Amino acid sequence: MFDIKNIYEPNTIDEALEILYRENSKIIAGGTDILISLQHGKFSEVTLLSLRNIQELKNIVKLENGNIEIGAMASFTDIFRSEEINNNIPVLAEAAVSMGGPQIRNMATIGGNVCNGAVSADSATTLFNLNSKLLIKSKEKERLVSIKEFYLGPGKVNIDSNEVLVKIIINKKDYENYYGNYIKFSNRKAMDIAMLGVSVLGSIKEGKFNDLRISLGVAAPVPIRCIEAENYARGLKITMENIDKISEMALLNAKPRNSWRGSRDFRIHLIKELTKRGILKVIERAGGNIYE
């Protein structure tokens, strides 16, 4: 059923990087995407490199400086159960628990979710709002890439075959005093890929939007930030009229398409409506008011 030539199971990152350096092999994390590709015959006689035994890739830690680091092999269950995530970035736990079903969440990793490059990835939009950085290593070098620069196109990401995504880094300044909401719209409540995903992250001050970040999944070839709407919102008084206008402006950066999951027109409707609901939820969570 699976055309696998060999599988390596190193215990350390260095061992994994050495194997990737000397032998053409494909990384397997939770396997929930790659095993499907294998079953569909996308690879033949593949050598797999499993990251499952590398404990340090599973850590979720808050550093002394307040930055949060999420190991690439942290599963979605690890994330939505993590005290650090729930205490500091609950919107990421909200996104994590929306993905798949319990079995998939137990196996699927956040590293696999972003490295797979799907525009529907449930972690991606929230990671975009958090200005996340990805630490990527090969035997010869390491580099830090912003999540925005990581997504190159549908299924295409900025990582070479000899590189490993080690961890995702979220700076304190990008989550502290922010409140968030992730809304996934799909045809079924569970085990379904998003027809549209909207993540909103915001901080409010003295009745105004201090900073508002809006990201969309499945609204363009890659996850996107709604920069025009975000710039318009900065410093704006929190009124229903302004919230409507910001939600409308979220469309300016979107390029939704027809697909069998949903039509372009329906996605346009969802972008406006779910952005509005997301903003309202963020205001509620921040303890803010809507003014006349």
Ligand X SMILES: Cc1cc2nc3c(=O)[nH]c(=O)nc-3n(C[C@H](O)[C@H](O)[C@H](O)COP(=O)(O)OP(=O)(O)OC[C@H]3O[C@@H](n4cnc5c(N)ncnc54)[C@H](O)[C@@H]3O)c2cc1C
Residues 117-136 that bind ligand X (CB under 6 A): 120-122
Question: Residue 72 interacts with ligand X (CB under 6 A)?
Answer: yes
> How far is CA 188 from each of CA 100, 122, 196, rounded to the nearest angstrom?
11, 15, 12
- DSSP helix/strand/coil, 236: coil
Cβ-contact 84, 91 below 8 angstroms: no
Distance CA 75, CA 66 (A): 22
Region class of 218: left (phi > 0), else alpha (psi between -120 and 50), else beta: left
The yes or no reply on residue 33 touching ligand X (CB under 6 A) is: yes
The residue within the footprint of ligand X, chosen from 38, 70, 108, 271 (CB under 6 A), is 108
Q: Does 109 bind ligand X (CB under 6 A)?
A: yes
Q: Give the residue with the Cβ less far from ligand X, 130 or 286.
A: 130
From the list 104, 145, 236, 290, which residue makes contact with ligand X (rule: CB under 6 A)?
104
Query: Closest distance between ligand X and the C-beta of residue 50, in Å?
Result: 9
Query: Is residue 34 near ligand X by the rule CB under 6 A?
Result: yes
CB 270 within 8 A of CB 185: yes
Beta carbon of residue 147, minimum distance to ligand X (angstroms, whole number)? 14
Q: What are phi and psi of 172, to 5 degrees?
A: -50, -45
Nearer to ligand X, 52 or 285 (CB): 52
CB of 162 to ligand X, least distance (A): 10
Q: Which residue, 164 or 286, has its beta carbon nearer to ligand X? A: 164
What DSSP letter does each residue of 83-121 carry, written as one string?
HHHHHH-HHHHHHHHHSS-HHHHHH-BHHHHHHTT-TT-
Contacting residues toward ligand X, per CB under 6 A: 26-34, 36, 51, 72, 99-100, 104, 107-109, 111-113, 115-116, 120-122, 159, 164-165, 191, 193
